Amino acid sequence: MKHLVVTEEIWKEGNMYTAYCPELDVVSCGRDIDEARKNLLEVIEIQLEETVKLGTLETFLEDAGYDLNTSQSTLRLDKQVVAFNQRTVPLMNAT
Residues 75/3, Cβ–Cβ less than 8 Å: yes
Q: What is the pLDDT of residue 93?
A: 78
Query: For the domain 3-66, what is the CATH code?
Result: 3.30.160
Q: What is the pLDDT of residue 66?
A: 93
Q: What is the pLDDT of residue 52?
A: 96
Q: What is the pLDDT of residue 78?
A: 83
Q: What is the pLDDT of residue 73?
A: 92
Intervals of the chain under pLDDT 70: 94-95
Q: What is the pLDDT of residue 94?
A: 67
